[in-house]
Amino acid sequence: MQNIRLHAPGARGIVFSGRSDALCPERFFGFPCVTGTPVPDCSGSFYLSTERGRYEGARFRQTQLDVSPDSLRAVLETADGAYRVETRWQCSPTGVISRTDTLTNCTDAPSTVHACLPRLTLQDTGFALYAQASNWSMENQGAWLPLGVGDVVLSNANGRSTENAAPFACLRQTATGLGCAIHIRPVGDWIIRVRRAVEGRATYLVLETGLSDRDLHMAVAPGETLELPEVLFVGFEGAVERCAGRFQRYLLERYPGRMLPEMVYNTWFFNFDVLEPERLREQVLRAKALGCRTFVVDAGWFGRGADWEHQVGCWEECAVRAFGGRMKDFADFVRAQGLGFGLWMEPERACAGTPVCRAHPDWFLDEDTVVYDLCNPAVRAYLCGELTRLVRTYGLCWMKLDFNSTMYRDRTGSNYYRYFRAEEQLMQMIRAENPACTFEGCASGGMRADFHNAMHIYHGFFASDTAHPIECLRIRQGAGLRMLPAYTGAWLVMHETPFPVNEYFTRGAETRTKLLAAADPWWDRAVDLTADLAVKLNLMGEWGLSGDLSGWSEATVQTVARGAAFYEAHRAFLSRSVCHLLTAVQRVHDVTGWTAVQYENIDGAGSLVFVFRMACDAQDFTVFPQNLDPARTYHILCDGAELGVFSGAELLAEGIPVHCSKRFAGKILSIL
């Protein structure tokens, strides 16, 4: 039997041994694999541990192998007949290879699973591993880790898919620069483990990915099949930024028909949970004039007490504060201005003492926080009913769904596998009942911002709870390695104030104001930026306004309105674009150098290149766009002004010169 190859034209992929008795990769995106059995605990393509013992290598026998030009399917059974594993490998036209595995309990009794991980064993030719830490307002912070000593384990925390780390890593061969990006579609807590196995002087790298086996003790019923987390592999070469484009193109094919939402105003940064209807009416009028299409009321509208944080779960309109029971009237006012109306809600948790907790204590998990047992059909029906009631009562076109709970550990033993499945079922029910409503994922500042949540479960995710424009740029850069950054939103929150201090370059010759942008989630910090830079930093994807819009100068109003018009004109373009990171991804607090990001429309509408000069003395920078046709000619514009017509070959070889006379300024190039 000949070797089996899975790869798209022009893309390295996986070559499997032609053996009919065992599915065995020989080469993995250019890396040599281990085809024999070097040491017992690193052999085979799957690792299973149950109360019956440990299964790997020779303890599995391959009973079926089906091969097609772009896929293969193998069925493995344990030697004792107790379990069956089905493995499917599928190569997309973009060259992204998907691995999905199922595990079936073939016995007539319940079984407890302690580990069920897909495995791949490489010859250790010298590798490094790229990983991303992801903390609140510090999301997507990446670094290369050496793989020369011990094991490296990446995992999330507390039942949220991107808390602690992102479900993503890159292996890169040190000698050649060949790399492979690894993406997990989380179902429960996940793990990426790279461990070294040693036999004499030989070393091997064992890659295990999927459902975390940390304290796993999941009961599997007789005949039950577990659909394990999907793992996606993308080959690349060189810098880690090169892993992004192929995967993003795959996401646009996998989730067709997606469209970035219209521009939105949210009340949170105006006065947080203090909602004053008359003052908010003024914000409605200003938001409309600036180009917003939806007005969303954030936390503070609900409950029977003064502190919203202790009223979560009581989704009755508060009668004694906020709108005083007349939020319908406010919603009608918003719609009368031509805007849609939206609300904030946190459906999955409730606070102790709320009516639902007293009436249905059996609806909640035995956890460290008060979280609904979503596996209970009655709970899913109740929550879907509550959201649908709010949508219909207030005529909602937008719901911002948050999840601020830290769940710590899953006492059921499934590492939130069953909770994730149930949460996805709940969201499918909610969206089916309310098809015209946009559901924005907030998830406590992006703690659930994995690619499947952002592209399928919700209509998008805000990248972070911080509103610092430059930090959001850095967070979006990191997101661009594993997601479509256009679908990660950001807030523009600014306050304009008189600035009586004489500046050196003006020497008191003119009076001016300072434009301060919120630099965190609370207005504890502020950063001085121009309106032009602040707007351009937000334009690279879904965005919205918050805060007090009433104190802006006419010049600032016009700048923001132009940005809103640009976003609306390019919303469809951005929705169908892949992001090329033309400069290195930088850490969240890095305000140095130049940054360039290219959005290439995959339907042939050209590219937009966002270029920013930060704290850098150089006034000039050359941008080298990617993926142009050398034989074509392109019109180049800078902030709408014509720069000239150039061949693709010229642009690829010579680049596009960009001039910014001042630090902390930005330009938008159009390549048409």
Q: Which one, of 71, 42, 69, 70, lies nearest residue 58 by Cα?
A: 42
Is pLDDT of 385 > 60? Answer: yes
> Confidence class of residue 369 from pLDDT cuts 50, 70 and 90?
confident
φ/ψ of 661, rounded to 5, equals: -75, -25
> Confidence class of residue 505 from pLDDT cuts 50, 70 and 90?
low
Mean per-residue pLDDT for 373-387? Answer: 98
- The DSSP-derived string for 63-93 is EEEEEETTEEEEEEEETTSSEEEEEEEEE-T
| Non-local CB neighbours of 200 within 8 Å, separated by 6+ positions | none
Residue 282's pLDDT is 98
Q: Which one, of 340, 473, 318, lies nearest residue 397 by Cα?
A: 340
Is pLDDT of 453 > 60? Answer: yes
Residue 20's pLDDT is 64
> Confidence class of residue 506 from pLDDT cuts 50, 70 and 90?
low
Kindly state the DSSP code that residue 229 receives in the 8-state scheme: P
> Confidence class of residue 1 from pLDDT cuts 50, 70 and 90?
low
Q: What is the rounded CA–CA span in Å between residue 337 and residue 110? A: 59
Residue 37's pLDDT is 67
Kindly state the DSSP code that residue 408 receives in the 8-state scheme: -
| Non-local CB neighbours of 622 within 8 Å, separated by 6+ positions | 654, 655, 656, 657, 658
The alpha carbon torsion through 131, 135, 140, 141 (nearest 10 deg) reads -60
Residue 342's pLDDT is 98
Residue keyed to tokens 């939103």: 489
Task: Write out the two tokens for 447.
Answer: 């703690």
Is pLDDT of 510 > 70? Answer: no
Q: What is the pLDDT of residues 11-66, one digit of tens each?
A: 889 999 866 677 889 999 999 998 876 677 888 999 999 999 999 998 999 999 99
Is pLDDT of 407 > 90? Answer: no
CB atoms within 10 A of CB 558: 13
Alpha carbon 11 to its chain centroid, in Å, reads: 25
| Non-local CB neighbours of 414 within 8 Å, separated by 6+ positions | 188, 216, 218
* Contact predicate 450/484, CB 8 Å: no
Is pLDDT of 408 > 70? Answer: yes
Alpha carbon 359 to its chain centroid, in Å, reads: 36
Q: What is the rounded CA–CA span in Å between residue 98 and residue 88? A: 8
Q: What is the rounded CA–CA span in Å between residue 605 and residue 598? A: 13
- The DSSP-derived string for 12-70 is --EEE---SS---EEEETTEEBP-S-SSGGG-SSEEEEETTEEE-GGGEEEEEEEEETT
Q: What is the rounded CA–CA span in Å between residue 364 and residue 414? A: 16
Residue 575's pLDDT is 98
Residue 460's pLDDT is 86
Q: What is the rounded CA–CA span in Å between residue 466 and residue 96? A: 32
Residue keyed to tokens 């849609």: 340
Please give the share of the chain, as a percent, with pLDDT higher than 70: 97
Is pLDDT of 220 > 90? Answer: yes
* Contact predicate 314/354, CB 8 Å: yes
Residue 98 vs residue 58, higher pLDDT? 98
Is pLDDT of 367 > 90? Answer: no
Please give the share of the chain, as a percent, with pLDDT higher than 90: 86
Angle of helix 377-394 versus helix 417-433 axis, rounded to 10: 30
Q: What is the pLDDT of residues 110-126, one digit of tens each?
A: 999 999 999 999 999 99
* Contact predicate 183/451, CB 8 Å: yes
Q: What is the rounded CA–CA span in Å between residue 97 and residue 230? A: 10
Q: What is the pLDDT of residues 622-670, one digit of tens each?
A: 999 999 999 999 999 999 999 999 999 999 999 999 999 999 999 999 9
State the DSSP H helix or E strand holding residue 516, giving kind and residue range, or none if neither. Answer: strand 513-518
| Sign of the alpha-carbon dihedral angle for 4, 10, 11, 12 | positive
Q: In this structure, are strands 438-441 and 396-401 parallel, antiparallel, or unpaired?
A: parallel
Task: Write out the two tokens for 338.
Answer: 């031509």
State the DSSP H helix or E strand holding residue 160, giving kind and residue range, or none if neither. Answer: none
Residue keyed to tokens 């996606």: 232
CA 364 to each of CA 367, 379, 404, 411: distance values in angstroms, whole numbers, following the listed order:
8, 9, 16, 12
Task: Write out the two tokens for 526.
Answer: 């502020």
Residue 507's pLDDT is 63
Number of Cα atoms under 13 Å in the Cβ half of residue 497: 12
* Contact predicate 648/631, CB 8 Å: yes
- SS3 assignment, position 159: coil
Residue keyed to tokens 């034209």: 9
Angle of helix 327-336 versus helix 377-394 axis, rounded to 10: 60
* Contact predicate 208/119, CB 8 Å: yes
Number of Cα atoms under 13 Å in the Cβ half of residue 254: 23
Residue 35's pLDDT is 80
Which domains are assigned to the chain? 4-238 (2.70.98.60), 264-573 (3.20.20.70), 594-671 (2.60.40.1180)
Angle of helix 554-575 versus helix 531-538 axis, rounded to 10: 20
φ/ψ of 180, rounded to 5, equals: -140, 125
- The radius of gyration of the chain's CA atoms, rounded to the nearest angstrom, is 26
Kindly state the DSSP code that residue 318 receives in the 8-state scheme: P
Q: What is the pLDDT of residues 564-582, one digit of tens each?
A: 999 999 999 999 999 999 9
Q: What is the pLDDT of residues 298-340, one digit of tens each?
A: 999 999 877 888 899 999 999 999 999 999 999 999 999 999 9
State the DSSP H helix or E strand holding residue 333, giving kind and residue range, or none if neither. Answer: helix 327-336
Kindly state the DSSP code that residue 352 receives in the 8-state scheme: T
CB atoms within 10 A of CB 101: 23
Mean per-residue pLDDT for 280-291? Answer: 98
Length of the chain (residues): 672
Q: What is the rounded CA–CA span in Å between residue 237 and residue 243? A: 8
* Contact predicate 540/666, CB 8 Å: no
Mean per-residue pLDDT for 121-135? Answer: 95
User: What is the tally of helices (H) and strands (E) in the chain?
Assistant: 13, 39
Mean per-residue pLDDT for 536-543? Answer: 96
